[in-house]
């Protein structure tokens, strides 16, 4: 079950009367397109794309090579640094999603003989098991293939096609990537994800009257290729890791010391304890008071990842005493629950 990271950004009093309502901000996970089983909490990430066709291009020499071609190129760039950057970037993104623990071994390249145009056969399960046992992870995530293609262009001209006007210089760079990813789960000996992706095209261009200034404002070919690798990692991370969005949540202070002990617990991150305490007072007071505590209970259930129970208690709160804040909260909970079920 996904957990919510609570970030308290703003707290203020909306009503001075008994039963103040407080507002704060939470970061809510948005479900990824490919749902990975909760039994998988960690990945070893390895790079299987490297073969003899790859090289670690020197940044300056590579740039000069493009200049020698008058910056008119259409070529596949197989750079080992780009492949490694993709792996490292993916590891950081998956870890920062708060969903997975990540191990990227020092010896992370699985070399192969086949061409970059061919996707290799799946790895042997004994090897997968050995990797996962060695690094104490649940599954192996492999970059099976990656290739970056770049199309560059350079031209000169005169404003308004008037030869008496000052000469301008124009250059553009388009970078495309294609990557193939697999996730191997040794416990069931199943490949959970097997996907080839064309990442979004990255584009740079510049227009200047000075050729030196023109290229100073553009990334180098090597830099642009590495950024393309990062973008490739981002698009795959978005498939399997939750993203986060900010949302407003509300709770009530009853000014009853025993009931409001839950607020102290929640502030310290103990939402389970806060829930247990609030539940003891669900029938305390009149219907309006009960409704406020029920809203708090619904919030605590959401914070502990139990959306079904959060919906149940938000409905109870609304039935006991209608409030717009509860009604809106209930609608959002139902919407999130429907997305999760899909």
Can you give the three-state secondary structure of 153-176, one letter per residue? EEEEEEHHHCCCCCEEEEEEEEEE
Question: Of 240, 269, 290, which residue constitutes the final position of a domain?
Answer: 240
Residues 241, 29 contacting (CB under 8 angstroms): no
- Over range 255-269, report the average pLDDT: 92
Residue among 182, 327, 193 nearest 250 (CA): 327
Stated pTM of the model = 0.74
Question: Of 208, 240, 272, which residue constitutes the final position of a domain?
Answer: 240
Clarify whether residues 142 and 75 are in a common domain: yes
Sequence-ordered list of residues with C-beta below 8 angstroms from that of 237, at least 6 positions apart, any chain: 90, 93, 94, 97
The pLDDT of residue 2 is above 50: no
Structure confidence at residue 100 as a pLDDT band (50, 70, 90): very high
CA distance 232 to 148: 10
Give CA angle at 324 (322, 327), nearest 5°. 75
Clarify whether residues 135 and 212 are in a common domain: yes
Question: Of 177, 210, 240, which residue constitutes the final position of a domain?
Answer: 240
Average pLDDT, the chain: 90
pLDDT computed for residue 323 by the predictor: 93
DSSP 170-232: EEEEEEEEEEEEEEEETTTTEEEEEEEEEPPPEEEEEEESSHHHHHHTS--HHHHHHHHHHHH
CATH number at residue 260: 1.25.40.10
71 inside domain: yes
190 inside domain: yes
Clarify whether residues 216 and 259 are in a common domain: no
The first and second tokens of residue 256, run together, are: 């009853």
The pLDDT of residue 3 is above 60: no
- Over range 92-118, report the average pLDDT: 94
171 inside domain: yes
- Range of weakest confidence among 54-58, 166-170, 222-226: 166-170
Alpha-helical regions (H) of 79-150: 80-96, 125-135
57 inside domain: yes
The pLDDT of residue 12 is above 60: no
Clarify whether residues 211 and 258 are in a common domain: no
Clarify whether residues 219 and 286 are in a common domain: no
| CB atoms closer than 10 angstroms to residue 115 | 10
| CB atoms closer than 10 angstroms to residue 123 | 18
Clarify whether residues 265 and 337 are in a common domain: yes
The conformation of residue 297, written as its DSSP 8-state character, comes to H
For residue 306, count CB atoms less than 10 angstroms from its CB and return exposed for 0-12, middle for 13-18, buried for 19 or more. Answer: middle
- Over range 274-303, report the average pLDDT: 94
pLDDT computed for residue 19 by the predictor: 66
The pLDDT tens digits of the residues spanning 164-181 come to: 778 899 999 999 999 999
Clarify whether residues 55 and 177 are in a common domain: yes
- Over range 265-277, report the average pLDDT: 93
pLDDT computed for residue 14 by the predictor: 37
pLDDT computed for residue 342 by the predictor: 66
- Over range 269-279, report the average pLDDT: 94
CA distance 219 to 225: 9
Residue among 45, 105, 49 nearest 77 (CA): 49
Clarify whether residues 147 and 23 are in a common domain: no
Structure confidence at residue 336 as a pLDDT band (50, 70, 90): confident
Residues 291, 250 contacting (CB under 8 angstroms): no
The pLDDT tens digits of the residues spanning 24-50 come to: 888 887 778 898 998 999 999 999 999
37 inside domain: no
36 inside domain: no
Residues 256, 20 contacting (CB under 8 angstroms): no
Clarify whether residues 93 and 232 are in a common domain: yes
The pLDDT of residue 8 is above 70: no
**Number of domains composing the chain:** 2
For residue 11, give its domain range. 5-31+247-341
Clarify whether residues 22 and 107 are in a common domain: no
Clarify whether residues 225 and 333 are in a common domain: no
Clarify whether residues 81 and 189 are in a common domain: yes
């Amino acid at each position: 079950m996904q957990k919510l990271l609570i970030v308290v950004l703003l707290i203020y009093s909306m009503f001075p009367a008994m039963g103040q309502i407080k507002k704060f901000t939470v970061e809510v996970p948005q479900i990824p397109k490919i749902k990975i089983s909760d039994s998988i909490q960690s990945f070893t990430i390895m790079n299987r794309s490297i073969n003899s066709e790859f090289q670690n291009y020197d940044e300056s020499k590579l740039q000069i090579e493009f200049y020698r071609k008058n910056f008119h190129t259409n070529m596949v760039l197989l750079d080992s640094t780009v492949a490694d950057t993709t792996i490292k970037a993916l590891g950081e993104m998956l870890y920062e999603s708060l969903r997975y623990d990540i191990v990227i071994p020092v010896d992370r390249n699985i070399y192969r003989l086949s061409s970059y145009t061919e996707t290799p056969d799946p790895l042997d399960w004994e090897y997968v098991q050995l990797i996962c046992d060695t690094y104490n992870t649940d599954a192996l995530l492999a970059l099976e293939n990656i290739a970056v293609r770049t199309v560059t262009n350079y031209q000169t001209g005169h404003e308004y096609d008037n030869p008496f006007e000052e000469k301008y210089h124009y250059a553009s760079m388009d970078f495309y990537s294609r990557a193939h990813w697999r996730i191997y789960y040794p416990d069931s000996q199943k490949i959970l994800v097997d996907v080839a992706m064309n990442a979004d095209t990255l584009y740079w261009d510049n227009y200047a009257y000075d050729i030196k200034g023109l290229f100073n404002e553009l990334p180098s070919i090597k830099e642009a290729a590495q950024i393309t690798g990062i973008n490739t990692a981002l698009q795959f991370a978005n498939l399997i890791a939750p993203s986060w969005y900010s949302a407003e949540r509300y709770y009530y202070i009853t000014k009853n010391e025993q009931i409001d002990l839950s607020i102290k617990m929640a502030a310290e991150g103990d939402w389970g304890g806060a829930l247990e305490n609030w539940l003891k007072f669900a029938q305390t007071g009149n219907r309006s008071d009960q409704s406020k505590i029920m809203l708090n209970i619904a919030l605590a259930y959401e914070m502990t990842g139990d959306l079904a129970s959060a919906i149940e208690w938000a409905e109870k709160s609304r039935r006991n005493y209608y409030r717009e804040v509860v009604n809106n909260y209930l609608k959002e909970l139902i919407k999130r629950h429907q997305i999760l079920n899909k």
